[in-house]
Chain A
Amino acid sequence: MTRAAFRRRSLIATAAGAAAWLAGLPAGGSAAGERSLRALCPELDCPPSIGAACLRALPAREQSSQSLIESIFSSLPPEARRATSTRTLARLLSTQIRNDFRDGAIVTADGWMLARTEARLYGLTARIAGVGTSAG
């Protein structure tokens, strides 16, 4: 399998898999919502290319890890910040992604129509993985 083919397959699978992933994350996790979120992102196995595409599509104020985390939590109910269960956080994220689509909060990244929260997640994943110059 070529790198391009792998990225394409992973991109499609990842772009498609967010909803399923978010519904199926295992229980357990860290005490704070932010730690949970940082721990969940690598599980997406998001190719760097789509994470980078999401970062390009997001506004300038949502480029650093911390700003992305804040943006994500700002769209979630307050209990998300206190989520000790990754499954709970995943459910909240899943609901917000559906709401984003319902409300037209859509980001187009590399041509894919993604929910804004979803794009922020992929962007955060890319930052955590060290993609771009302002990893945080």
Chain B
Amino acid sequence: MILDARSVPPGTILEPEVCIVGAGAAGITLAREFIASPFRVVLLESGGMNYEPETQQLYAGQSIGQPFETLTTSRLRYFGGTTNHWGGWCLPLEEIDFEPRPHLPYHGWPFQRAYLDPWYRRAQVVCGLGPFDYRPASWGIQPGEIPPPFDGPDFACKILQVSSVRFGPAYAAELRDAPRVSVYLHANAFGFQPDTSGGAVGELPVKTLSGNHFTVRARIYVLACGGIENARILLASGPQPGPGLGNEHDLVGRFFMLHLTFSGGVIAPAHPRARFDFRRQGNAIISGRKHSFVSFVGPTASVMHRLQLPSMFINWTYKLSPVVHAVDALNRVLEGEPEGGHFWADLSKVLGHLEGVADYGIRKLLFDESIFVEAMEVECASEQEPDPQSRIMLGPTRDRLGMPEVTVDWQLVPEDKSKAATILSLLGTEIGRAGFGRLRPALVAGGPWPSNFYGNEHQIGTTRMHRDPTLGVVNENCRIHTLANLYVAGSSVFPTGGANNPTLTIVALALRLADHIKKDLA
């Protein structure tokens, strides 16, 4: 059922088996997993079913480090969470993203990628995706279509799938009809309070903007409010002023990471009329259903190991051009083509009306042949190095509920830029060596970030996972080390972010956590 917390009688005490805080991708996934179970679940959502400015403003805070201006715009605080405006790009993290890396501190998850695969497969279904198969050949990009250098060994063609699922609208009815799941809208968790032993959460006060208040006393709690809010709530929990809960080693809020997004430069292709189908957006029919995908390129695990490089997601858009006189003339000299002809005149007239950067596939569809690609404008998203100095803290101001707002101190280390520049330099070298084209990189060693550099909306790492409580807030089962009944879901538990979009991994981890909690309760 879906209820409004503003209508709960003040002072009510709810006593479910499981209390989930946050109805985004992680929280909704968790709640759904309990529908068929005998356990009662309370799912608390700060917002309503739609955007409400006053609720959204509860995300406000300040930024004191690297520019980070999107506290109230990158996240959405209503039922469905940030999936209400996400792009739907889904793919698992890569094997190397889970591995400890020599010379790279803080890398390594408590398990390997393959261990998580069964939950990734289930996450594909939750996200409305195709099969758990990210090989380009399975999406119509055959090995022979992938030109050097993107056929290895240093760069590879990769696939992501595109989800059209908005978790709120997709799953609201199911949760509404679940007899043992109660969704409370407009319900704000106001900090967990420990029990008398201090080794578990005793209760969770809940407040509404209308002034109502009640309490949840559950056997198990799951915090699923996102990479920034998870840290905020933990820091604001327990006796205040104080360090918060789960923060015995001053780790809550630290290791705050984003995906570093910037222009990679321009590629001038050596063969402008080549087929570039290996890098496109498209659809594939798999088992009778249409699924959307995007192919992109990135460094391989081999070169990442060899040169100690981070993960990077490299994409490009195609800039089409009218006939270029010099190259056209040169082609006639080389190939002995008859000069002029109606085809070029007609094509140049049509192309003259097509302005701006366009997706190669659209033009191919229009003209059903290779189109003259003047250039590719490269876009990059790079993995940030985990750095304990990059952190979320409680700020000096409070929101309308009285909870401290966040202060974001997003920091970078020099290697974030230098290694990204190294990857681009390697890309320029490799496309030259392979005869693919020439790169004018927008980021070079020793130079500044490109002017469009920013940290995107993938907020990661603030309650990181590690078996050692001095290196992680949660253990390998995503339970707070020092609290027997408080778990954390979402990208805040990622020890490293990789370069891939996090939502599929968020959902996979939520499914795994649900399985774990069900065993725990049983």
Residues of A within 8 A of B (CB): 6, 9-10, 12-21, 24-26, 43-45, 97-98, 100-102, 104, 106, 108, 110-115
Contacts and interface: CB of A to CB of B under 8 A. Distances in A.
A115 B330 contact: no
Contacts of B265: 111
Contacts of A108: 444
Contacts of B326: 9-10, 13-14, 45
Interface in B424-468: 425, 428-430, 432-435, 437-441, 444
A113 B321 contact: no
Contacts, number: 88
Contacts of A19: 270, 435
A10 B322 CA distance: 12
B324 A16 contact: no
Interface of B: 265-266, 268-272, 321, 324-327, 329-330, 333-335, 374-375, 425, 428-430, 432-435, 437-441, 444
Contacts of A112: 268, 438-440
A43 B330 contact: yes
Chain B CB count within 10 A is highest, among A10, A12, A20, A101, for A12
User: DSSP class of B's interface residues: helix, strand, loop or mixed?
Assistant: mixed
Given A106-B432, A112-B440, A113-B432, A25 B334 contact: yes
B334 A21 contact: yes
A13 B435 contact: no
Contact of A9 (B321, B435, B441): B321
Contacts of B440: 110-113
B264 to A, nearest CB: 12
Closest 10 CB pairs of A and B: A16-B268, A101-B433, A113-B428, A24-B334, A101-B432, A13-B327, A45-B326, A111-B440, A12-B268, A19-B435
Contacts of A10: 324-327
Nearest to B375: A12
Contacts of B434: 98
Contacts of B271: 20
A101 B428 CA distance: 9
Contacts of A110: 440
10 contacts: A9-B321, A9-B326, A13-B272, A13-B374, A15-B268, A16-B269, A25-B334, A44-B330, A102-B433, A106-B429
Contact of B438 (A16, A25, A100): A16
Contacts of B430: 101
Contacts of A111: 265, 440-441
Contacts of B333: 26, 43
A114 B334 contact: no
Contacts of B269: 16
Contact of B268 (A13, A26, A106): A13
A35 to B, nearest CB: 18
Contacts of B329: 45
B334 A9 contact: no
A113 B441 contact: yes
A12 B322 CA distance: 13
A113 B433 contact: no
A44 B432 CA distance: 17
Nearest to B428: A113
Nearest to B436: A19
